[in-house]
Copies of this chain bind each other. A is one copy, B any other.
C-alpha cells in the first residue's frame, strides 16, 4: 500500500484524490495541505488523511511515501525540489515549473540525486489510442515519419484564458505528445493566426502551430479553444509508405431524421478520463519507462516559451535546449 501525500486540494487535486481512493487499488492518501483550509478539510474528511500546515510538511511526513503536487504553478518548483531532497517520488501536475530556468533547476537536482523521482502530468502518453498510434509508428508499418497533422479543440475555456494560456495550458499537451511520439526534440516553432473566432472574445483563436523536429519531421497543430461543438482531438502521421491516425471512437450510431449521428465528447474528462486513471495507476505501480519526467517538463517549458514569443511576433523561433543529463 503506497501512502501518498497531496499538496494542493483544488479541483484537480480533489480529482486526483478521488482517483487514488476510488479508482486505483493499493494506494492510500495519508496527508494533505492547501492554502485553503476548507479544501484540505474536504479531502481529510473523505479519506482520513491528516491535514498538514503546508506542502513542505506533507512532503516531510513520515507516513508519506510519495507526493502528488497540484498546487498553483508558481509553487511547483519549491515542492518538487523538496520531494527530490527527501528522496520521495513526486507526481507534479503540469507545468513542472513556470519558467525554463526553474524546470532546469529541478532537472539538475534530480540528476544530482541520481535517481528518477519526478513525473509530470502529461497524460496523452497514457491514452490507449495514442499508444496504439505510437506502436504502429514504431513497428515501421508506415515507414519513416515525414509529417504529423494534429488538432486540439476545446468546446470552451475558462474566463481567465489569455492569449498565452492557449499555448501554455492547451497546446503544451500536443508539444509533449509530439516529443514522445517521435522520440526527438522540437527545434523550432512558428505560430500562425487565422481569422479569429467571434466566440473567442479578445483572444486569438484558433491558432496554427508549426513545429520542426530534430529528425526533420514537420508537425502542424490546430489549437481551437472555443470550438463550441465539442472536444475533439486529432492526429495523423504521414509516413513514407502509409499513414496512421487516431480513429473515431463512436460507442453508438443513431440514424434519425435524414442523418446518421454519433456523439462527440463534451470535454477532456470524457475523452481522456481513462488516460488519467492509467497515468496515476502506472505512477503508483512505479512504471517509469514512458513516463514524462523532469527533462520532459523542462523541454515543454522551453518550447512553450518559444511558441508564446512566436505568437507575439509572428516569426519562426528556433529552440535551444540545455545539455541533457545522462539520467534522462
Contacts and interface: CB of A to CB of B under 8 A. Distances in A.
B218 A242 contact: no
Interface in A193-223: 193-199, 206, 208, 210, 215-218, 220, 222
A264 B243 CA distance: 12
Contacts of A254: 136, 141-142, 242-245
A247 B247 contact: no
Contact of A246 (B129, B251, B261): B251
A266 interface: yes
A25 B18 CA distance: 11
A269 interface: no
Contacts of A132: 251-252, 263
Contacts of A222: 147, 149, 238
Interface in A123-149: 128-129, 132-133, 136, 141-147, 149
Interface string A14-34: 000000011111110000000
Contacts of A177: none
A149 B147 contact: no
Contacts of A255: 229-230, 232, 242-245, 264
